[in-house]
A and B are shown apart, each in its own frame.
Chain A
Amino acid sequence: MSLQPLDPRTAEIFPMAARHLLGDTQLRKNVRHATDVIQNKRRIVVDEMPDWQELRESGKRLREHTMQHLREYLEQFERNCTAAGGVVHWARDAAEARQIVVSLAKSAGAKEVIKIKSMTTEEIQLNPALAAAGIRPYETDLAELIIQLGHDQPSHIVVPALHKNRQQIREIFRREMNLPDLGPSPQDLADAARLFLREKFLTVPTAVSGANFLIAETGGVCVVESEGNGRMCLTLPDTLITIAGIDKVIPRYEDLGVLLQLLPRSATGERMNPYNSIWTGVHPGDGPKAFHVILMDNARTSILADAEGRQTLNCIRCGACQNACPVYRQTGGHAYGSVYAGPIGAILTPQLMQMEHAQSLPYASSLCGACYEVCPVKINIPEVLIHLRNKVVKEKSWADPEAIALKTVASIFRSERRFRAAQRLGRIAERPLVRKDGQGDGWISWLPGLLGGWTQVRDLQSMPKESFREWWEKRAETKGGSDV
């Protein structure tokens, strides 16, 4: 499958994209399997923590505090990172960030760069920009490698290739690595990736990474990973370029005591992921000789300015909400038309687009709250979804059929008299649609217009002859009251 880069500006609206993906049985099976496995692992390592709720509360409060004081913490990070030999750059938007990375890579003389999985670089579509400048990016995370070699797009923020199964991955590797005899076991596939990238790690002198946390107090950067590809990229090249959203900063080193408990258990269901790297500027004799970090806004400050949307920035990108989401579990990530899929994508993407695109995403949720329940920093995603729906509605024209319908209903509810009349009218209006079933009960199997979605797979019981209030009033009149 070949996909255009996920771009909310050009993506299909969610219900349409979802309709296509729901037809892909294999994809749905893969997504279901993967999310089931992570969720079960997560549940076990979360349940064993007696203080999980206290950790979540600290995580939330820590992130809230950071956002309120974002300016001072970014300035502090910049100062300390610079003092330790790093170079700090600032980027207002994606274009500026891309341009900084490309020009840094060019002046390092790079023909190739090795990359650690980074959703921020996906967000700004860095790889096409590097390629256009004649620099070949090599994704080194196994999942990202599968995506890159398969000309595919990520569908999950932690496990980007979870929509592919081993046979599909084997086919990609066979073709792209020229390994006709490659075996199908996950071990064979991982070994192939190890061999494919080993020489690149040892020889490519420039790396690009994201960051999990920027530590204001020390100027240090923390990257959390599993495979060791991250460590390779962070330590072997001469030049390291790290790109991070401004939301990635944390106040103090001590805060890792909270976040390094919340993140791994939520993300991969591990007590700790195999590797965490923390470095501060340039360490002589250990790792890159030049270190650049780009602090990128790209609409994050507009999210910060919205009191109700702001909690979106508290996200630590663990992906737990995606695994828990019953909508994501049906469609996988591509339906969201953004590298940020699932519940976090449904709130983050439209806000990154400043509500100009991706307006269907806040509606891609039944508001069941499973995301909020698992979120390690207690982001109330349903609340933000409703807030964003309100913003979408405010933009609607008065002639929008849905707006007309809902405003009419609201005016009915504002008056008891109108409500009674509507109840009676409903019984008359539905009459032509009602059919009796075998039990003699009335059911509706077809509804017009906006409501047609209901009757695609469901029937609707016809309205009872008498509303509750009519019954109540009759009963009061006849008084008796004892025999209900």
Chain B
Amino acid sequence: MSDARSEILARIARATSTGSPSSWEEIPRDYRQSSTASDRELVDLLTHRLHDYDAQVVEASSSDAATAVAAMLKAREVSRIVIPPGLQSSLLPPGFNFIEDTGLSHAELNQCEGILTECTLAIAETGTIVLQNVPGQGRRAATLVPDYHLCIVDAAKIVATVPEAIERLNPTAHLATTFISGPSATADIEMTRIKGVHGPRFLDVVLLLE
């Protein structure tokens, strides 16, 4: 008796022996792969989409980023905040308890009220923020267990469409990557959208312009 692997591969070979081969490059791609939107339009569209997800969005310049962060954290009344290794220190306002994630246990993460990160890019059309395991964004568990996520989005990292985002991510495809579009949600009960089930129930964004 042959092993499962060779048997399945042989079945596939038999099943596909009659069809005609095609190359991946031949697949038609007439959908939009880029956009002509201006930077301002992208910022506005992203903001609009994030508002749709009930996220708060503020704009700030890089010099007053820390002030904007402080205002957000205060408004949400969170003070114990995880930060990933490598987060720019200029983003951190005084007066909060920032705890660097040097391998916190699940229980320790669960004790924290929030997480502050940067991001790899954002997709305006879908209101999506993309995080990868790199300095300033950190490992996946840290952006998941605390109930509040504040994300700093540099306006230069906004793309219009999903295909543009995927193209930019392609060189780092091997990194653990998470697309976040609004706070955790469900519509499993009568299709009523409820914010916050298991992931962070609150997501806010500071948009860094210039």
Contacts and interface: CB of A to CB of B under 8 A. Distances in A.
A277 B181 contact: no
Contact of A189 (B11, B126, B189): B189
A96 interface: yes
Interface string A179-203: 0000000110110011001100111
Interface residues of B, number: 77
A421 interface: no
A31 to B, nearest CB: 11
B200 A202 contact: no
Contacts of B31: 51, 54-55, 58, 258, 261
The interface residues of chain B, by DSSP majority, are classed as loop
A166 to B, nearest CB: 6
B169 A190 contact: no
A301 B127 contact: no
A307 B181 contact: no
A276 interface: yes
B186 A51 contact: no
Given A51-B32, A68-B22, A272-B128, A190 B180 contact: no
Contacts of B183: 274
B199 A287 contact: no
A227 B8 contact: no
Interface stretch (B59-67, B69-77, B90-98, B160-168): B160-168
A273 interface: yes
A69 interface: yes
A274 B188 contact: no
Given A54-B31, A65-B22, A305 B178 contact: no
Interface stretch (A230-238, A344-352, A445-453): A230-238
A37 B8 contact: no
Given A277-B140, A301-B11, A304-B16, A202 B107 contact: yes
A401 B128 CA distance: 58
A130 interface: no
B140 A220 contact: no
Contacts of A74: 9, 12
Contacts, number: 259
Interface stretch (A139-147, A371-379, A434-442, A475-483): A139-147
Contacts of A297: 8, 11
A406 B128 CA distance: 56
B9 A220 contact: no
Interface string B112-142: 0000000000010111100001000001110
A226 B126 contact: no
A130 B13 CA distance: 33
A227 to B, nearest CB: 4
Contact of B173 (A140, A165, A253, A305): A253
Interface in B17-40: 18-24, 26-33
A84 B181 CA distance: 27
A271 B176 contact: no
A95 B77 CA distance: 52
A258 B167 CA distance: 11
A257 B173 CA distance: 13
Interface string A127-162: 000000000000011110010000000000001011
A235 B187 CA distance: 23
A21 interface: no
Contact of A62 (B27, B110, B174, B190): B27
Interface string A62-81: 10110111110011000000
Contact of A271 (B30, B107, B127): B127
A57 B30 contact: yes
A280 B175 CA distance: 7
A278 interface: yes
Contacts of B176: 277-280, 283, 286-287
Given A54-B31, A159-B187, A304 B12 contact: yes
Given A65-B22, A186-B192, A235-B141, A54 B185 contact: no
B144 A70 contact: no
B56 interface: no
Contacts of A58: 27-31
Contact of A142 (B14, B27, B189, B200): B189
Given A90-B8, A275-B179, A142 B16 contact: no
A61 B27 contact: yes
A154 to B, nearest CB: 11
Contacts of A295: 8
A274 B139 contact: no
Interface string B178-210: 111111111111111010111110000000000
A84 B174 CA distance: 9
B51 to A, nearest CB: 13
Contacts of A96: 4
A169 interface: yes
A464 interface: no
Contacts of B22: 64-65, 68-69
Given A54-B29, A68-B16, A90-B4, 7 more contacts: A228-B198, A235-B140, A258-B31, A272-B162, A273-B181, A278-B178, A304-B12
13 contacts: A61-B28, A71-B16, A74-B9, A142-B197, A201-B106, A228-B198, A235-B139, A253-B166, A256-B166, A257-B167, A275-B180, A275-B184, A283-B176
Q: 7 tightest A-B contacts by CB?
A: A228-B199, A257-B163, A305-B15, A286-B139, A301-B11, A228-B184, A272-B126
